[in-house]
Structure 1
């Protein structure tokens, strides 16, 4: 796995020794479109990094999928509540296209933290980014108009519009497919 991914380029404070130790614990996985990385009802045992492809996190409510986040190349993802709490997950993580990920087991990560405190700091930064993204999404869905939510998605995450289905985007933006179609038709 060494040197074929640059997952830590965004964290310049991480030392080479920690990077090498982390990379030794990774394995890679190729998931077909529609394949699940994580499934509701099971404890999430991995932190993932998307090398190629994309994924979405979603919940099921009344037999409908509600998309809560999208992840693209160069991003970490996991079912965070389950990964941290060690309780069964509420969410599913699905590949939106053929997707290659690198992953590390929860237990392996904890062992690395004991030896590499700079890696623990990097993990904290990953968690902070996750939290900020989650809070932005919450504010985004509660205080902006449907049109503004779609325009923000176009501005800040245009690749999502190219890769996700209209239904996935609509549930992510907390609107109906019809509303999303009207908005798209006017832009």
Structure 2
């Protein structure tokens, strides 16, 4: 649990009692490569922390698989809008490799917030970080050219290049596989 504890303490120094309650209310989940954590149309009941492995979030549009994010070890993942509102998800979240996750249910988390207000604050800070990443990705995808988007991916998440397929990377970067291949060849 040290990676999870370290990540939580990066948001704020949690009281030991709060931290223990949080850890005790979750459990470990192991999933195989290509297995889905969340499917479109399901309510996201869990917040996951990736202890080992990587996942991608995607949706379908016009029968095309569109990758919207990649998440790696040390990151939290869920279909955030579904988890917060407890309504059906528009996205799928799939393991890109065998994964080990720590997870906590929405109900358990909400119950903990009633008793441990520092956990609620940590959650708010987690949501703020999520929002910032979402905004940066929006800017990243709208205002940078294809080469700049690929270079930024290499700079900030180079592990994705080894873990995701060329099609998934191209989809995430909003370019064709051919364009991605040309960019890679020119570097």
Name the TM tier (shorter chain): over 0.9
Give the whole-Å Cα distance in 1 for the aligned partners of 2:20 and 2:125: 19
Match of 1:11 in 2: 11
SS in structure 1 opposite 2:41?
coil
The aligned counterpart of 1:156 is 156
Mapping of 1:127-146 within 5 angstroms?
Answer: 127-146=127-146
After TM superposition, give the deviation of residue 86 of structure 1 in Å.
1.1
Report the alpha carbon displacement of residue 183 of structure 1 after superposing the two structures with TM.
0.3
Match of 1:47 in 2: 47
1:67 aligned partner? 67
Counterpart CA distance in 1 for 2:63 and 2:90 is 14
Taking a change above 3 Å as real, the CA distance of residues 134 and 5 of structure 1, as seen in their structure-2 partners, is closer
1:12: Cα distance to partner? 3.5
> Aligned equivalents of 1:69 and 1:156: distance in 2?
13
In structure 1, how many angstroms separate the alpha carbons of the residues matched to 2:151 and 2:128? 25
**Counterpart position of 1:25:** 25
Q: C-alpha displacement at 1:11, in angstroms?
A: 2.4
Question: Aligned equivalents of 1:17 and 1:154: distance in 2?
Answer: 39
What TM-score does the superposition give when structure 1 sets the normalisation length? Answer: 0.96
Instruction: Tell me the equivalent position of 2:79.
Output: 79
Tell me the equivalent position of 2:98.
98
Normalising by structure 2, report the TM-score: 0.96
Q: Which has the higher helix share?
A: 2
**Alpha-carbon deviations, 1:128-152, whole Å to 9, x = none?**
1110111111000000000000000
- Which consecutive residues of structure 1, in runs of 5 or more, have no partner in the other structure? none
Residues 75/108 of structure 1: CA separation in 2 closer, same or farther (3 Å cut)? same
CA contact (8 A) 2:12 2:122 kept: no
* 1:13-37 CA distance string (max 9 Å, x none): 2111111000111111111110000
